[in-house]
């Protein structure tokens, strides 16, 4: 599933083609995504796109007629193509611009979403209004994370993956960050010291920033807007490497499941 870096890469790819452009019309070929495509989207003809934003793993298209909320789901991808480009299988939504370009959404598994909100969704929409801070902002720091963790018995890995605590630290990047910080993923969040949070938070920020710089992580479905894969996979030190040798100590990496997600760690390096 695309995580925060992949969504940020998608945002940066489409924004220059969408911002300050006028929507000609919207084509919906299949309304049956994770939630039915909002019918209001087909009334956006004539609207101007003011800004493309990202909140957590959601893209928000700020238009003169309201807001469009886009989620890539597990297999969704966005492409900017000439409007006359024939659609292929699983091309479910087209946002056609008067410039002659088209933002096209392809989603084989149909777990993505295209929704409409009259108000800014970060303030009003139930999917976004209760989310935690963005990890690459000053609002996410060691003091905040330490205070939020007090009394928590859940594992540190599931804690930092909780979108009510901080958004966008998905499974891949939680594995990698905890390894680099030397923290065992099963350790209770409430028992992690402030000193260790002071080490962990900058590592989370740096890991996510590096992934964005590398174009995200391509494991199965994700590609960038131009069709190129994300190259952060080459930087992975533990994720997907269960049973292989640790790159730091040459010990054997162990793979378990936490919160129903694959978790790989080094029993020697992480305490």
Q: Which residues are annotated as a binding site for DNA?
A: 90, 109, 152
User: How many beta carbons lie within 10 A of that of residue 227, not counting itself?
Assistant: 8
User: How many beta carbons lie within 10 A of that of residue 127, not counting itself?
Assistant: 17
Give yes or no for a contact between 111 and 76, defined as CB atoms under 8 angstroms apart.
yes
Q: Find the catalytic residue in 11, 54, 55, 57.
A: 57
Question: Is 108 marked active-site?
Answer: no
Give yes or no for a contact between 91 and 104, defined as CB atoms under 8 angstroms apart.
yes
Report helix, strand or coil for 167.
coil
Q: Find the catalytic residue in 3, 6, 8, 176.
A: 3
Candidates 44, 5, 12; CA nearest to 218 is 5
**Binding-site residue set:** 90, 109, 152
DSSP 179-245: HHHT--TTSBGGGS-HHHHHHHHHHHHHHHHHHHHTT-B-SSS---TTSPPPBGGGG-SSTT-TTSB
Q: Find the catalytic residue in 2, 121, 135, 185.
A: 2
Tally the residues of the chain: 271
Q: How far apart are CA 37 and CA 92, in angstroms?
A: 10
Question: Is 57 marked active-site?
Answer: yes
In terms of C-beta density within 10 A (0-12 exposed, 13-18 middle, 19 or more buried), how is residue 242 classed?
middle
**What's the angle, vertex CA 81, arms to CA 75 and CA 82, rounded to 5?**
150
Which phi and psi (to 5°) does residue 58 adopt?
A: -105, 140
Question: Is 42 marked active-site?
Answer: no
Q: Find the catalytic residue in 186, 187, 205, 261.
A: 261
| Catalytic residue numbers, as ranges | 2-3, 57, 261
């Amino acid at each position: 599933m695309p995580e925060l870096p992949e969504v940020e890469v998608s945002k940066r790819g489409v924004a220059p083609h969408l911002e300050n452009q006028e929507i000609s019309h919207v084509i919906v070929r299949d309304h049956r995504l994770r939630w039915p495509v909002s019918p209001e989207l087909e009334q956006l003809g004539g609207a101007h796109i003011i800004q493309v934003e990202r909140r957590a793993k959601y893209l928000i298209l700020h238009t003169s007629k309201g807001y469009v909320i886009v989620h890539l789901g597990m297999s969704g991808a966005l492409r900017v193509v000439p409007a006359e480009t024939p659609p292929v299988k699983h091309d479910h939504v087209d946002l056609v611009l008067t410039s002659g370009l088209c933002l096209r959404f392809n989603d084989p598994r149909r777990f993505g979403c295209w929704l409409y909100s009259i108000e800014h969704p970060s303030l009003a929409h139930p999917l976004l209004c209760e989310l935690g801070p963005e990890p690459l902002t000053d609002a996410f720091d060691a003091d905040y994370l330490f205070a939020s963790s007090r009394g928590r018995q859940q594992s540190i890995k599931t804690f930092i993956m909780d979108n009510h605590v901080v958004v966008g630290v998905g499974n891949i990047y939680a594995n990698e960050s905890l390894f680099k910080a030397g923290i065992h993923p099963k350790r209770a969040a409430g028992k992690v010291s402030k000193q260790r949070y002071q080490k962990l938070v900058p590592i989370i920020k740096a890991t996510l920033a590096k992934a964005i710089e590398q174009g995200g992580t391509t494991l199965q479905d994700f590609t960038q807007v131009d069709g190129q894969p994300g190259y952060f996979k080459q930087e992975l030190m533990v994720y997907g490497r269960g049973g292989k040798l640790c790159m730091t100590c040459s010990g054997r990496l162990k793979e378990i499941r936490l919160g129903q997600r694959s978790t790989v760690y080094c029993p020697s390096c992480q305490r």
